Amino acid sequence: MITPKGTLLLIVDVQGRLAQGVFKPADLEKNISKLIRACSILDVPVLVTEQYPKGLGHTIDSLRELLPDNVPVEKLSFSCCGNAEFMRQLRSFNRNDILVAGIETHVCVYQTAVDLIEFGYTVHLVTDAVSSRTEENKQLGIRCIEKAGASLTSSEMAVFELLHVAEGDRFKAISKIIKE
């Protein structure tokens, strides 16, 4: 079971031009937004990356607004783990369970997940919060990431697993988010 104290949310490359061209972009945006808001309530840190932002643009506005103090790690390597600053920040959080969301499932998300697993992290791929330009590449990426050793989850499943109990103010706030 994932816990707020042991978990980090990683959002990979949900950027302007890239985010507009993926399979079901509105669903991707909605589910990542829910994850960010729930993680904020549960004190789960969020790490954001951007692949070559000069060419692909920055993280989409709706997500940036939810993370006003978060500075994305700019990268050129497909795997986030190929970036020294990303690895420094990841290690500084001292969290072993990594919820992975973002794009593209079969490229940057896949390569990052495989590297994280090789570095000893436990990867939880949030399957309704990842996408690729085609549904086929999204599904292929999910299958390959699972085969590499990641567990699969959904945004709702992950949030309720982090929450653990159906009581209190956190539960009420998160229930509202999930129902949207």
Q: Where are the beta strands (DSSP E) in the chain?
A: 7-12, 46-51, 73-75, 97-103, 122-131, 151-153
User: Domains in the chain, ordered, with CATH?
Assistant: 4-179 (3.40.50.850)
Does position 31 have pLDDT exceeding 90, yes or no? Answer: yes
In whole angstroms, how large is the CA radius of gyration of the chain? 15
Separation CA 107–CA 132 (nearest Å): 9
pLDDT at 17: 79
List C-alpha distances in Å: 19 to 23, 49, 60, 62, 135: 9, 13, 8, 12, 14
Burial of 171 (0-12, 13-18, 19+ CB in 10 A): middle
Q: How far apart are CA 9 and CA 57, in angstroms?
A: 21
DSSP 58: P
Cα of 69 vs its chain's centroid, Å: 17
Confidence bin at 44 (pLDDT 50/70/90): very high
> Model confidence over 149-164: pLDDT tens digits?
999 999 999 999 999 9
**What confidence score (pLDDT) does residue 180 get?**
83
Residues marked active site are found at: 13, 75, 108
